[in-house]
């Protein structure tokens, strides 16, 4: 299986956590390695995308559902319809609520803006409080959990860089500790962390370059 990815992408990290949890083998390549093949796998340019034999698919959530059906062991959705729906609700909350709130901080690494950063911190704190409510529905580790650990890592890196403080509800702290103790998550985080910090360092360099007075 080919996973089209770029090193710093958190949605690619999300997909690798699932690949690791499933015990699948994959080969990774950037879109630039074969533009035509990537265009076939991801016609609208989204990462991650996969090529499994001759089946091409993009979007981390579509990929997760596909992998769970094509490679059913271990199952990453519970059996009961209500619990399956809850798991999907948890995953959608990550992709459509928490991660977009965190994403608002990415451009601010290269171009600091304390007001925008404070607003984003308020939005993230709100999302973490909402996540604590969702977590009151206990579920085994599954599809809906795979995005959270990389996003939590980014929250740490970004808030530290910008001197922001967030309110982490105890239920979210416990959830995070539980995720980080899973082998599939721990392995991914140790592989991914250097890429995330390299991305931060690169953007910080741009910031210092911008801050230099223009040369005559």
Ligand X SMILES: N[C@@H](CCC(=O)N[C@@H](CS)C(=O)NCC(=O)O)C(=O)O
Q: How far is the CB of 63 from ligand X (least distance, A)?
A: 7
Nearer to ligand X among residue 11 and residue 93 (C-beta): 11
Name the one range near ligand X by CB under 6 A: 56-64, 71-79, 170-178, 189-197: 56-64
Give the end-to-end CA distance of the chain in Å, rounded to a whole number.
53
28 binds ligand X (CB under 6 A): no
Contact present, 52 and 70 (Cβ < 8 Å)? yes
- CA 117, CA 104: separation in Å to the nearest integer? 8
Q: How far is the CB of 24 from ligand X (least distance, A)?
A: 18
Write the CB contacts of 139 (distance below 8 Å, at least 6 apart in sequence): 78, 83, 86, 87, 90, 145
34 binds ligand X (CB under 6 A): no
95 binds ligand X (CB under 6 A): yes
Write the CB contacts of 7 (distance below 8 Å, at least 6 apart in sequence): 195, 198, 199
- CA 38, CA 46: separation in Å to the nearest integer? 10
105 binds ligand X (CB under 6 A): no
Write the CB contacts of 200 (distance below 8 Å, at least 6 apart in sequence): 109, 157, 158, 161
Q: How far is the CB of 118 from ligand X (least distance, A)?
A: 24
Among 13, 38, 61, 192, the residue binding ligand X under the rule CB under 6 A is: 61
- CA 59, CA 48: separation in Å to the nearest integer? 6
60 binds ligand X (CB under 6 A): yes
46 binds ligand X (CB under 6 A): yes
3-state helix, strand, coil in the chain (%, to 5): 65, 5, 30
Q: Which residue is nearest to ligand X (CB)?
A: 60
Nearer to ligand X among residue 29 and residue 169 (C-beta): 29
200 binds ligand X (CB under 6 A): no
Positions 8 through 27 that interact with ligand X (CB under 6 A): 9-11
Among 45, 72, 100, 140, the residue binding ligand X under the rule CB under 6 A is: 45
47 binds ligand X (CB under 6 A): yes
Contact present, 169 and 132 (Cβ < 8 Å)? yes
**For binding to ligand X (CB under 6 A), which residues are involved?**
9-11, 45-48, 59-61, 95
């Amino acid at each position: 299986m080919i996973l089209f990815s770029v090193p710093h992408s958190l949605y690619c990290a999300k997909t690798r956590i699932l690949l690791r949890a499933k015990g699948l083998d994959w080969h990774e390549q950037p879109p630039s390695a074969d533009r035509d093949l990537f265009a076939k796998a991801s016609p609208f340019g989204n990462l991650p995308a996969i090529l499994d034999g001759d089946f091409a698919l993009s979007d981390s959530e579509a990929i997760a559902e596909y992998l769970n059906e094509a490679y059913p062991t271990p199952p990453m959705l519970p059996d009961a319809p209500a619990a399956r729906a809850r798991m999907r609700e948890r995953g959608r909350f990550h992709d459509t609520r928490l991660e977009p709130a965190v994403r608002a901080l990415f451009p601010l690494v290269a171009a600091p803006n304390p007001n925008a950063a404070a607003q984003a911190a308020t939005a993230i704190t709100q999302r973490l409080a909402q996540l604590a409510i969702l977590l009151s529905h206990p579920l085994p580790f599954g599809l809906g959990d795979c995005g959270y650990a990389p996003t939590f890592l980014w929250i740490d890196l970004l808030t530290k860089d910008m001197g922001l403080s967030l309110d982490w509800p105890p239920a979210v702290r416990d959830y995070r500790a539980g995720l980080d103790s899973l082998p599939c998550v721990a392995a991914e985080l140790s592989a991914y962390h250097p890429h995330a910090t390299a991305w931060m360092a690169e953007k910080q360099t741009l910031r210092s370059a911008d801050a230099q007075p223009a040369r005559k």
